[in-house]
Each structure stands twice: as C-alpha cells, then as structure tokens.
Amino acid sequence: MAAPNIVNVATITGVTTYHAGIAITTGGRGELGITTIVSNPASSGRVIKVNSLVACGIANTTGLTLQYFDDVSHVGAASTVSIAMTAQVPVFSSLVVISKENSIYLEENSCLGAFAEPSKGRLDIICSFEEIS
C-alpha cells in the first residue's frame, strides 16, 4: 500500500519512545548491534513523521550514527543513508539530531536505526513521532 494522503487523514497519534544504552556495531550498515529507533512495517497503511530525536551521552562521550533504512530488517538495504555519522555526543550532555525544523517522514517498510561508536561510552535516545493514517 502507498503512503496515505497526509492532507486527509483519519488519525494522528503522538508517540514518544526511548532506548537506554544503545548498542555498538562493528559491521557495515549496522548489521551487528543496530538498535531500531522507529519502524514503519510494510503494509501498515500509515506514514510516520519523526519530529525529534535527542541522544544523551551517559558517562563517556561517544559517537552516534543514525541511519535511514529502506527495509525494516536492516539487512540488505539498497539505499541506506546516514543522517548523522559518528556525531559526537558530549559527556553528560545531549545532541539534537532531528527537530521540528528538520523532521523526516518514514514510509512503509522503512526505519531509523542507530548505533554507538565502539568502546567509547553509552548513549540513551529519546524520539518523538506521529503515526499518521
């Protein structure tokens, strides 16, 4: 099914989710240790508007990589693109990666995945989005 017409929607549901201590990866495209932040399954009949994504450095500073995957399984994604690549998150501080000014839409069978730089620290992520159908 195609993404719904966002001018004539039936429902908009606001959601906030969090992920504590996201994983690290050593493989290409995040096959190993990828943490799915937001996912829009195939045939969901909805589009997801991501309004904000904030990463918090817990303990040591670390690098955050946030990627868009055109397949919710992360494996074999033909057009995976980076939104943030090893962006430094300060010690005991936050980094705004996505905000209302640069929100993104996830169509069906796509997702956002994140991983942390190995051996550098931990990251917590909080994400606010709207499910539109």
Tell me the domain boundaries of the chain. Answer: 13-132
| Exposure letters 87-108 (e unless 16+ CB within 10 A, then b) | bebeeeeebebbeeeeebebeb
Which amino acid type is present at position 52?
Answer: S
pLDDT, tens digit (0-9, with 9 covering 90-100), for 53-91? 999 988 776 788 888 888 777 665 566 888 998 898 888
Rounded Cα gap, residues 128 and 96, in angstroms: 12
Distance between CA atoms of residues 22 and 122, nearest Å = 7
Q: Is 30 helix (H, G, I), strand (E, B) or coil?
A: helix
CATH topology of domain 13-132: Jelly Rolls (2.60.120)
Taking only the tens place, the pLDDT of each residue in 101-124 is 999 999 998 999 888 877 677 789
pLDDT digit string, tens, across residues 29-61: 444 578 889 999 988 999 999 999 999 988 776
